[in-house]
Each structure stands twice: as C-alpha cells, then as structure tokens.
Structure 1
Amino acid sequence: MMQTTRPQFTAFTGQQRLVTGPLAEVALAVMKASRKAASAPIVIFDDATGRPIDLDLRGTERDIVARLPQSDSNPQPADDQAALEPRGRGRPKLGVVAREVTLLPRHWEWLAAQPGGASVALRKLVDEARRASGDIDRARAARDAAYHFMSDMAGNLAGFEEASRALFADDRRRFTGLIAGWPGDIRDHIVKLAFSDRAEPP
C-alpha cells in the first residue's frame, strides 16, 4: 500500500518564506500577516504542484478554516464514497470501482486465461507498473512543481532559462550552482521541491 502524506503549502511574502505547513495553518498565518500595516503581497503555493492558490481570508479564523478546500481534511474520494454506499446482497465491493476498459481481442483472451480472471490480472498489472515507475513519477512531479514555483517567483532572475534547462536535464549540480545567487528562501524552496525526496548527488 502506498503511503500518503498530508498536503503541504508554503506562503511567501515578497521574496521571504512566511510559513510552511497544512493549509489551515498556512491560511491563518497569512491572514494574521496580511492584516499588519504595510504588509507585502503574500502568495500561497501548493507544494505538490508548485502553483499558487487563492483563498478567501475574510472573517474570523473559524470562517476561514470552514471555507478551505475539503481536500486538506482528507475526505473520501468520490469513488471511495460510492464504494462505501450500502448495496444489496451479493459479493461486497471492497472499494472496487467498475469502469470501462477498451482492449483488443487478444488482450481480452490473455486476461481471461489468467488466474482470477481479467479484473484480478489487470489490478496486478497496474500495481506492478506503479511500483516500477514510482520513483520516476515522483521525480517528474517534483521537477514540475519546482519549475512552476520558479516561473512565478524567479522568472525574472538572472540565469532562469539556464537553470530551467538544467532542471529538466536533471543536472542537479549545475542547477544548484546556477541558482546559488538567488534570494535564499526562494532558492531553498526550489531545491526542496525538486530534490527533497532524492539522495544527494555523488
């Protein structure tokens, strides 16, 4: 079973990091900071995507938390909710969701001959593919998140184009060298988004 972590968000005020944490924590910190006199513009980023998000920070703390997207409180996905709905007699669904799959006849023939039938074979194939490509998928998502954040916060900084090329080439040493002169909080957050799940380069 894949382990999931609670979504993290980061708020920046100008070029300085204000706070990182769960959305409710970040939203309340931003609300308090934004109500101070002469506060700089504050942007909240979703660390999973590197993209900015908009929140309605009017009203009391309770009002703000109540309006936050439900994803921060880890609700059941729609498919899981459907799977948990009461149903008639027969084999329990066990979270299984029926959807259409289009395959060639030879694929159906092969699946039908597998132990457990087509559904069991397909689930095994998907699980094996997820395990095999997990590291690649995570690295790609991390790179994309770092680039989206870079584009918003460092698009006008010196060396942005070269740094972007190094990022997509997965040349970590060159990438970190190119962004070394950028504002510290921006630079450190980019490196965190891009490489925090990977070991240091040799």
Structure 2
Amino acid sequence: MVDNFRPQFTAFIGPLRLASGPLAEVAIAVMNASHRPAAPPITIFADATGQPIDLDLRGTERDVIARLPQPAPDPETAPTEPRGRGRPKLGVVAREVTLLPRHWDWLGSQPGGASVALRKLVDEARRANGDADRIRAARDAAYRFMSVMAGNLAGFEEASRALFADDRRKFAGLVAGWPDDIRDHVVKLAFSDGAEP
C-alpha cells in the first residue's frame, strides 16, 4: 500500500525498475546495485514531480541515509515553537505579494483585512481547482519522467501529444511497446487518479 503522506521515489537501472518507495529504501537499493560490475546507468525519480534526483551514495548505509534531504515538516503535526507575530498555530508565513492599488483597496475593505481575504481566496481556489491541479501535476510528472526514460523510444512524440490531450486510450496504445517497467511507471504517474487509460 502506498503511503500518500510520505514522498515516494522510484529508481531505474537502465530500463528496469530497481526499487520504489521511501527515499531511504530506494537510496540503499541504488547504493547496493551501483557496486555491481558494469552496472547500467541508474536514475532515481521523485514520483510526485517526475524529476530525476541526485544523491551522494558514498560511505556506509548510515552515511547515505544521514545525507538524504529531509522532507519539510507537516505544520499540523510539527511541534509548536515560538514564531513571533502573526498566527503561529496556523503556521502563517510572511512573504511579499505585489498587487495593483485596486486589488489592495478591495482586499483592505474585506472583513478581517487583506491577509484573511487572501487566505480565503486561496483556499476557495484550491477547493475549486483541486482536481484540475492534481491532473496537471500528474501529467507533468509523467512527461518529465518519460522525457528522460523514453525520449528516444518509438512513439514518444505522439505519446506526448496524447498525454497532453488527455487521450488515455491513444496514450496507452502508443506506450504499449515500450519496456514494461517504463510503460507501467509512466502510466502510473500520468493516471494516478485510478481511472483506466
């Protein structure tokens, strides 16, 4: 079962999937595989983005794990610490926003002021666009992955067009001849909503 709250990673050794799971598990599998003589190139991908990542795999397993990037803490489960002004329980972070004067005027006239109005607008947009944002992120992750792993494979350009047109049947047909692990992974990334391609 996939842990939806922990980032997942997948490593490929040539066209074959080597390991999938939390970064520490994948890093150790890659470290062990890289010691094999004449090992094919190994690439690690962040499943959420489809981006390849680089890791420092020198030393012992403990050394490798100690150097792994740490995920950002979840603001809802992180221990509370003094944060200064604002709303520390909400995890409010101050950043600069540039708007036109008419936008500032409208925000300033809203109940609770500009900050409250902006938070409400962002939350509303996230609710309204959540599905579209997830679909776009999945499509973009699949494209990044397939650009690295399948850019030279037959049908790549046509499959890319089908992916961005959300033509699942055509996409599945075009990638059917690709190496099994690459095909299965790109389909998983592209259509992680569970609908059949």
Given candidates 100, 122, 143, the residue that maps to 1:104 is 100
- The 5-angstrom pairing of residues 136-155 of structure 1 reads 136-155=132-151
Give the C-alpha shift of residue 174 in structure 1. 0.4
Moved more, 4-13 or 14-23: 4-13
Count of residues in Structure 1 that have an aligned counterpart in Structure 2: 191
Query: Gapped runs of 5+ residues in structure 1?
Result: none
Q: Secondary structure at the match of 2:12?
A: strand
Moved more, 158-167 or 94-103: 94-103
TM-score (norm 1): 0.85
Give the C-alpha shift of residue 91 in structure 1. 6.6
CA distance in structure 2 between the partners assigned to 1:93 and 1:46 by the alignment = 31
CA distance in structure 2 between the partners assigned to 1:164 and 1:103 by the alignment = 36
1:10-48 deviation line (CA, Å, top 9, x unaligned): 011111101100110000011112223343221111112
- The 5-angstrom pairing of residues 1-202 of structure 1 reads 5-71=5-71, 74-75=72-73, 84-85=81-82, 87=84, 93-94=88-89, 95-200=91-196
CA distance in structure 2 between the partners assigned to 1:97 and 1:11 by the alignment = 34
Query: Residue type of the partner of 2:49?
Result: T
1:136-164 deviation line (CA, Å, top 9, x unaligned): 11111111111111111111111111111
CA distance in structure 2 between the partners assigned to 1:115 and 1:196 by the alignment = 39
What percent of counterpart residues are identical?
75
Q: Secondary structure at the match of 1:70?
A: coil
Query: Residue type of the partner of 1:194?
Result: A
Moved more, 98-107 or 133-142: 98-107
Give the C-alpha shift of residue 126 in structure 1. 0.8
Q: Secondary structure at the match of 2:196?
A: coil
Query: Residue type of the partner of 1:121?
Result: A
Q: 1:143 to 1:92 in 2, by over 3 A?
A: closer
TM-score (norm 2): 0.87
CA distance in structure 2 between the partners assigned to 1:85 and 1:174 by the alignment = 54
Give the C-alpha shift of residue 130 in structure 1. 1.1
Query: Gapped runs of 5+ residues in structure 2?
Result: none
Query: Residue type of the partner of 1:35?
Result: H
Q: Secondary structure at the match of 1:37?
A: coil
Q: 1:38 to 1:133 in 2, by over 3 A?
A: same
| 8 Å CA contact 2:86, 2:92 repeated in 1 | no
Give the C-alpha shift of residue 116 in structure 1. 1.7
CA distance in structure 2 between the partners assigned to 1:23 and 1:195 by the alignment = 22
